[in-house]
Structure formats: C-alpha cells, structure tokens
Amino acid sequence: MAGKTALLVLAHQEKTSFNYAMNDVALQTLKQRGWNVLESDLYAQKFKSTLSRDDIKGKLKDPNHFKYAVETTLAWKEGRLSRDIVEEQKKIEAADLVIFQFPMYWFGLPSLLKGWVERVFTSGFAYSLQEMYSNGPFTNKKAMLSFTTGASESAFSPKGMHGDINAVLWPIQNGILNFCGFQVLPPQISYAVSHIPQEARTEMLENWKKRLENIWEEKPIQYIPVQDFDLPDCTLKKEIIEANSESRYGITVGQHLGKALPVDSQVKSTDTKL
C-alpha cells in the first residue's frame, strides 16, 4: 500500500466525538502504512453545502433559466467552477481510496456531506450519460463509508424497527459511489456509540485500526455491470433475468426481481458472480 493516496472526508462538528476518533485512527494508521493522506474536514473548512450560481465563475450559458447541472458541466469543462469545488475535485483525482466518516442522520448522509457530494460530484467530472456505474470515471478508485448510528445493530436488522441496513445503504453506496464508478468496499458501521461503554468504543477503534492495515487488499461489493442492462430502457437483459430465475434471492437490493433481498449484500463482499 506504500505510495497510495487516501482522502478522508469527515463530516462531524465536534472534535471530541467518536467520529473524530475514527478519523484520527484512519489518519494515523494509513500514514504508518505508507499512505499519503489528504483530508477534507468539512465543518472545519466551513464548506458550503448549498448549490447556487456562485458555484460557477464567469458568464452563465442561460442566466434567465438557470440549470445547475448544465451550467456546472460546462464550467467544469472550461475550468470555471468555484475554487472550493475545484480543490475537492483535485483531492478526489489524487486519491486511490476515499473514506467518508460521518454520523448517520435520518437514515442518510448529514446535510453538509450530502451538499459536498452534490457540489463536488459534478456532471462530467464524476459521471455522464456515457460514463456511469461500471463505466464511471472512478473505476480505478475505491471508496467506503465509515459511520456511526444512534440505534443498535438489531434495530437495523431485517426484523428490526428501523429496517434492514442493506436497504438503508443502497441509495448511498449504489446511487452515489457505484454510480460514479467507485469500487465500493464494505462499510465500517459503529452501532449505538452513545449507548455503549467506553470499553466497547475502544474495541471498535482497535478493530478499525486492524482493518485499515490491509484495507487496499479487500474485495469490493459486487454490483451489476452496465453491459447487463438493455438500453435505452435501462432494464436487465432477458438472459440475466433467466440466469437468476431459480435463485431464492434477488440479484441485488435494487435489482431484486421481486424476490427476497440478498442477505448482507451491502455490508460485506462476496465471491458470488453476478
């Protein structure tokens, strides 16, 4: 792993938090293993999370009917995106691995981190109609979520009050990371950190450190490649559906074919061939 570059994207407002501790463990462990580590501490940077015309420098293509995606795509091509967006994009370009560290809010990303995604992952840079999912721009990069929850692991089980964590993660891991082409590593989930003893939190930090020591060798979560879908309707090819007709489970959380969701497919990698 020596010579690799990691980007740590941290979204927590409190330096004494467990999320900060997890980020520090990642920073120190990766550096000790020879990684070059870049950081984006979004609260410390006072990163702007709202989309606006200020994200584009120079004249707009159509100032009377502002379309954010259209204008930022053109601005990216012409080097006219705002400085803060460009700085974050440069970090992503340099990174082999991106780790997102955050507390899960309302079953998703904190608003600041969601805004970072919306502003930084611009059309052209992070995706296009021709480059998405397995053909996305970041296919040579790996990414993963490391987050805390307020509730226990049992609450996020298939029979838990909050529902299956695999379903909760699908919009983020597939809809953002896989969509942009990242190889998505299984998430590091720290359940109920506010409700467990200090000894348990210390153990979580130690387990995270051990995992990071060989993180680059981990196998990513498997998703269905673009070539397995018919265009332009973007649905699974007939032969893919037929090949999975006898399976008890769906292929993925999203492409489940009306069957039971594949067990733990968003929280661990498998050797199963899609």
Instruction: Report pLDDT digits (tens) over 52-85.
Output: 999 999 999 999 999 999 999 999 999 999 999 9
Task: Please report the pLDDT score of residue 269 as a whole number.
Answer: 85
CA 232, 127, 122 angle in degrees (round to 5)?
130
Alpha-carbon distances of 262 from 90, 158, 167, rounded to whole Å: 36, 11, 10
The secondary structure of 1-23, three-state, reads: CCCCEEEEEECCCCCCCHHHHHH
pLDDT for 271 equals 57
Domains and CATH numbers, the chain: 5-218 (3.40.50.360)
Return d(Cα 102, Cα 113) in angstroms, integer.
8
In angstroms, the Cα distances linking 102 to 116, 149, 168, 232 are 13, 9, 15, 36
- Predicted confidence at residue 51, as pLDDT, reads 96
pLDDT at 17: 95
pLDDT tens string 203-261? 999 999 999 999 999 999 999 999 999 989 999 999 999 999 999 999 999 999 999 99
Phi, psi of 191 (to 5 degrees): -80, 140
| Whole-number pLDDT of residue 1 | 62
Q: Mapping DSSP to helix (H, G, I), strand (E, B) and coil, where does residue 141 land?
A: coil
Is pLDDT at 274 greater than 60 in this prediction?
no
Q: Which residue shows structure tokens 């010579």?
A: 3
pLDDT tens, position by position, 155-171: 999 999 999 999 999 99
Mean confidence (pLDDT) of the chain? 95
Predicted TM-score of the model (pTM): 0.94
Asked whether the predicted pLDDT for residue 272 surpasses 70, the reply is: no
